[in-house]
Amino acid sequence: MMDELNKSIKVLQNGGLILYPTDTLWGIGCDATNEAAIEKVYALKQRKDTKALSCLVANDAMLERHVEKVPDLAYDIIEMATKPTTIIYDNPKGIAPNLVTSDNTMAIRVVSDKFSRYLIGKFKKPIVFTSANMAGKKTPANYKEIDQAILSGVDYVVNLEPENQNAVPSSIIKLGMDGLIEVIRE
């Protein structure tokens, strides 16, 4: 695993794109603080940059560095969730402006799989996560279903199997500072 971590980090540091297994699906990733790298993700997916991408963090401490105020309820949701859960937070900070939506929110997930946690922890920055499919196409359930255009469009493909072979997309919950809770996807 260390070899895969080091190769991935080198690509991320150079503004490149990786294809990597996560606690949910295979994803396209890049440095969440690098605006040019994020533009490459949108171009690869042929996706409008008005459709938000999410990012992954390694732990609560990293989450707190990138959200102005994490609502207390978020910690309960993260702890009690029975599957990976992405939370949309108000007022993100320290990430590339083109990851922040027009209403000043950002979708962030604290990852639970070992590879992603180690990668993000060692990289010391959040990493973009978006499913490994072209815009408007079906989300691949496994590596074999990933479109060749995605495979050839990234700078590095992590050579590891995902921890969860029957992965599904994360739940998505929006937590507003005003106390509003909205389930976007169960």
Superfamily for the 2-185 domain: DHBP synthase (3.90.870.10)
- Residues 6 or more apart whose Cβ sits within 8 Å of residue 182: 173, 174, 176
Paired with 89 in beta bridges are: 106
Average pLDDT of the segment spanning 168-176: 87
Per-residue pLDDT band for 145 (boundaries 50, 70, 90) equals very high
pLDDT tops 90 at residue 179: no
pLDDT tops 90 at residue 178: no
SS3 33: coil
pLDDT tens for residues 54-113?
A: 999 999 999 999 999 999 999 999 999 989 999 999 999 999 999 999 999 999 999 999
pLDDT tens for residues 7-58?
A: 999 999 999 999 999 999 999 999 999 999 999 999 999 988 777 899 999 9
Per-residue pLDDT band for 1 (boundaries 50, 70, 90) equals confident
pLDDT tops 80 at residue 163: no
Can you point out the beta strands (E) in the chain?
Answer: 18-21, 26-29, 54-57, 85-90, 105-110, 127-131, 156-157, 171-175, 181-185
pLDDT tops 80 at residue 117: yes
Say if strands 18-21 and 127-131 run parallel, antiparallel, or are unpaired: unpaired
The pLDDT, as a whole number, for residue 141 is: 85
CA 89 to chain centre: 14
The pLDDT, as a whole number, for residue 176 is: 78
- Mean pLDDT, all residues of the chain: 92
Do the Cβ atoms of 88 and 177 come closer than 8 Å? no
The pLDDT, as a whole number, for residue 148 is: 96
